[in-house]
Amino acid sequence: MHGGRLVDEVKGISIIDCTACGFKHMDPLPGDAMLDEIYKKEYYTKEKPTFIERSIEDEVWWNSNYDDRYVFLESALGEGRRELLDIGSGPGFFLKRALERGWSAKGVEPSVEAARFATSNGVTVINDFLDNAIEGGALQNGTFDAVHLSEVLEHIRDPAAVCEAASKLLRPGGLLCVVLPNDYNPLQEYLREERGFNPYWAAPPHHINYFDKKSITSLIKRSGFELLHTTATFPMEFFLLMGDDYVGNDELGRLCHKKRKNLEAALSTDRFKAFKDQWYALMASYGIGREFVIYARKKDIYDE
CATH number, residue 187: 3.40.50.150
Pairing of strands 104-108, 83-87: parallel
Dihedrals φ, ψ of 138, to 5°? -70, -25
Q: In what order do the strands lie in the sheet with 144-150?
A: 124-126, 104-108, 83-87, 144-150, 170-181, 291-298, 225-232
How many structural domains are present in the chain?
1
> For residue 42, what pLDDT band results from cuts at 50, 70 and 90?
confident
Model pLDDT, residue 302: 44
270 lies in some domain: no
Model pLDDT, residue 46: 79
> For residue 304, what pLDDT band results from cuts at 50, 70 and 90?
very low
| DSSP track, the chain | ---EEEEEEETTEEEEEETTTSSEEEESPPPHHHHHHIIIIIIIIIISTTHHHHHHHTHHHHHHHHHHHHHHHHHHH-TT--EEEEET-TTSHHHHHHHHTT-EEEEE---HHHHHHHHHTT-EEE-S-HHHHHHTTSS-TT-EEEEEEES-GGGSS-HHHHHHHHHHHEEEEEEEEEEEEB-S-HHHHHHHHHH----TT--TTT--EEB-HHHHHHHHHHTTEEEEEEEE---THHHHHTT---TT-HHHHHHHHHHHHHHHHHHTSTTTHHHHHHHHHHHHHTT-SSEEEEEEEE--GGG-
> For residue 301, what pLDDT band results from cuts at 50, 70 and 90?
low
247 lies in some domain: no
216 lies in some domain: yes
Which residue has better confidence, 297 or 44? 297
| Each residue's pLDDT tens digit, 45-104 | 777 889 999 999 999 999 999 999 999 999 999 999 999 999 999 999 999 999 999 999
Average of pLDDT values for 96-114? Answer: 97
| Each residue's pLDDT tens digit, 244-276 | 999 999 999 999 999 999 999 999 999 999 999
160 lies in some domain: yes
Average of pLDDT values for 8-29? Answer: 96
pLDDT value at 235 more than 90: yes
Model pLDDT, residue 303: 53
| Average of per-residue pLDDT values in the chain | 95
Average of pLDDT values for 200-224? Answer: 96
119 lies in some domain: yes
Give the global pTM. 0.96
241 lies in some domain: no
Dihedrals φ, ψ of 228, to 5°? -110, -45
Structural domain span for residue 192: 32-234+285-303
Model pLDDT, residue 45: 79
| DSSP track, 135-197 | HTTSS-TT-EEEEEEES-GGGSS-HHHHHHHHHHHEEEEEEEEEEEEB-S-HHHHHHHHHH--
| Each residue's pLDDT tens digit, 166-207 | 999 999 999 999 999 999 999 999 999 999 999 999 999 999
263 lies in some domain: no
138 lies in some domain: yes
